[in-house]
Every structure is written in C-alpha cells, then in structure tokens.
Amino acid sequence: MRHHPALCLIAVPALVVMLLGCSESSGRHANGTGTLSVNLTDAPLPDVQKVEVTITGVIVYPRENTMPDMAEGSPIELMTHPETFDLLTLTDGATTLLASGEVPVGSYNRIRLEVSDATMTHSDGTTQPLKIEAGKVDIPIKFEIGSGEMEQVTLDFDAGASVHVNETGSGQFILRPVVTPVP
C-alpha cells in the first residue's frame, strides 16, 4: 500500500487537533459548581476537659484569575450562622463537619474561619472565658473544585497551640487560633 504525501499533511494535523480536544474535554470544566466540605479536627490537651469555640463564618477564597464569571478574588461564604464546637472531642482522628456548600468550579487558595467566642473547662470542672485576640484566622490551603465533583478538606484547630496565659500576670487565658490544613 502506498501513502500519498498530501494525505499525510492533512491527516496528521487533524489527528493532533482531535487528540487535544479529547484531552481538554476529559479535564475540569470551566463552568458549573462542585461541592466543598470543610471538616475540623484537633489533638488532646492535658489537664483540660473542654475547649469550646464558636465559629460564625467559614469563607473560601478563589485564586486570582481562575473564575472568569466572578469578580476577582470574591469570597464564598459556606457558613454564616454561629455554631459551637468542643475541640477536645475531635481528637484521635475524629472530625466533624464544619461547613459544606456549592462553590464555583475553579482553584482556591485559602479558607477563613471567624471565631466569636471561646471558653475552656479545666479538669476540675471550672470554666473560664478565653479572650480572643484575633477573631479571624486565614488558613492557606490550595485545592481545586471540578464540575459536579465533591472535595473534602480537613482543618486542625490546635487547641494546645492556640490557648495562652496572659504574660502580664493577670492569669487571663487568651485564644490565638492556630489552624492548619491536614494533608
């Protein structure tokens, strides 16, 4: 069988275009929504029964220039009502759902938690309020949402690293939230 050179000049570029089209359609879609679930976990804290924090907001931030239909960097609120969590019930691999919702398809680079209240209960049963130094904590975390996909991320709210005694000697405990993504 003999190949015609002109036919090869047409067939090869056409095949390349078809293959590129197939690979793009099998990837993430540029439009639509996917579902994001944000979970919370913690590590044990000695001599403390409870560390309760009230979270009033969970906000995700898209990476710049990844969502053409949205204003650049527009945040998406997943949670707008307060909910209180006992961080010390979330140890040894236990997690709880913090927030979930539909978000636009694209790339994201951080999650913000808004904390409005916190208390600590010692092993002897005494409870005291924690002064909140920063009511907002930004967690750098990169993830992708594809059309129709469900993505889960887990955040470790480290109670042991977050609770501090006031250095002025007043004995007041302060909450400086330390939250990191769990790989």
pLDDT for 32: 86
% the chain with pLDDT above 90: 55
Residue 95 placed within a domain: yes
Residue 13 placed within a domain: no
- Cα distances (angstroms) measured from residue 46 to each of 14, 104, 163: 67, 41, 12
Residue 102 placed within a domain: yes
Quick check: 123 pLDDT over 80? Answer: yes
Residue-wise pLDDT tens digits, 133-145: 888 999 999 999 9
Quick check: 14 pLDDT over 60? Answer: no
Residue 6 placed within a domain: no
Quick check: 5 pLDDT over 60? Answer: no
Distance CA 10, CA 6 (A): 7
Grouping H, G, I as helix, E, B as strand and the rest as coil, residue 118 is strand
By DSSP bridging, strand 173-175 and strand 131-132 are: parallel
Range of the domain at 172: 29-181
Residue 62 placed within a domain: yes
Residue 21 placed within a domain: no
Q: How many domains does the chain have?
A: 1
Bridge partners for 47 per DSSP: none
Sign of the four-CA dihedral 97, 99, 40, 130: negative
Tell me the residue type at 151: E
Residue 20 placed within a domain: no
Write out the two tokens for 156: 């470790």
Quick check: 56 pLDDT over 90? Answer: yes
The answer for residues whose C-beta is within 8 angstroms of residue 29's C-beta and 6 or more apart is 105, 146, 147
- Whose CA is closest to 54, among 123, 139, 113? 113
Q: If you count them, how many residues does the chain have? A: 183
Residue 19 placed within a domain: no
The answer for residues whose C-beta is within 8 angstroms of residue 80's C-beta and 6 or more apart is 56, 57
